[in-house]
Amino acid sequence: MKTLIFAAIAVLLLAPISLQAKQEKQKAVLVTGASSGIGLKVTEYLIKNGFYVYAGARKDADLKRLDAMKNTSSVRLDVTKQSEIDAAVKFVAKQGRGLFGIVNNAGVGVFSRMSEMADKDILWIHDVNVMGPHRVNKAFIPMLIESKGRTSIIGSISGYVTGAFSGAYSMSKFAVEAYTESLAADLAESGVHVGIVDPGGFKSKIREKLTLFRLTGSYELNQQLTDEQNVELQKAKEGNDKLKEPDEVAEAVMHLMMSDKPKMRYMVSPNKGGADITMKMLLTRLIQLNSDQPYEYTRDEIVALLDELLKADELLKTE
């Protein structure tokens, strides 16, 4: 009888220690905008690969749904509200797991001619897409430095390719490319890796939301619409359904979070056409920038420089 009592006491005493050891061993990642699309897919992949996920969302129904997932705690997180970011830091710290990674996925878009777009829409896009990751990273950097962890942004190939109607969105995605480079240099000696994943056109709720915004001025999916508006929304849904699921984007995030040699940039195009356009635009800018300037490179000098950079990239992969 005494033996059974002592055994029961030992189990009770060791249980908290075992739980704490498990929490310390399991790496935790914060995902913003985790309720749908790329954010939800990334959350699912992280869980599948053994991470614990703090899943950021804004709506009660989404928070409840995310909480029901294995190895996940929902976090009310609007990246434009510093008070919610500060509360998220306190919540994550209180859980005792620390924080290994961040996936800054929350993002918005408005598409219109730059000559017609309202200032408030441009500022709103930047508040979410640019200042959002900056606020979140800045708040959690002490925890990332402690874990020598990793932070990432879901950018877009729109950070390299733009057009008459995508200017404001592309402005925000161009900006986070520069932000990624700057933060990487800033944290270079801290042991924290900084990277960006640039997807092309994958399946996402953003197309439905953009259609709703164009029709009603609101992104809310559960709106009362006219028959004509419902027809437009259905067309957007059908177009979105034809696109690929963002599994490849989630796989790129997994490499960034798990590889011994994570990259700074990951271009993830759903097809060769998207990749071709992106590379062509990058090289077009190089040619435009180089043309007719006092220190203009010749073709042979450009090729030699390209060979040098490619060789340096190969060396980085083998180190």
Which residues are known catalytic residues?
169
Question: Helix (H, G, I), strand (E, B), or coil: what is residue 236?
Answer: helix
Q: How far apart are CA 117 and CA 114, in angstroms?
A: 5
DSSP annotation of 245: P
- Long-range interactions of 306-313: CB distance < 8 A, separation 24+: none
Q: How far apart are the first and last CA of the chain?
A: 61
- DSSP strand pairing (52-57 vs 28-31): parallel
Q: How far apart are CA 79 and CA 5, in angstroms?
A: 51
- Decide if 252 contacts 266 (C-beta within 8 A): yes
DSSP 274-317: HHHHHHHHHHHHHHHHHTT-TTPPPHHHHHHHHHHHHHHHHHHH
Question: Both tokens of residue 142?
Answer: 């002490």
Can you say how many angstroms the Cα of residue 315 is from the centroid of all Cα atoms in its chain? 28
Question: Both tokens of residue 305?
Answer: 């420089």
Residue 282's Cβ-side half-sphere holds a number of Cα atoms within 13 Å equal to: 12
Angle, nearest 10°, between helix axes 167-186 and 119-129?
Answer: 30
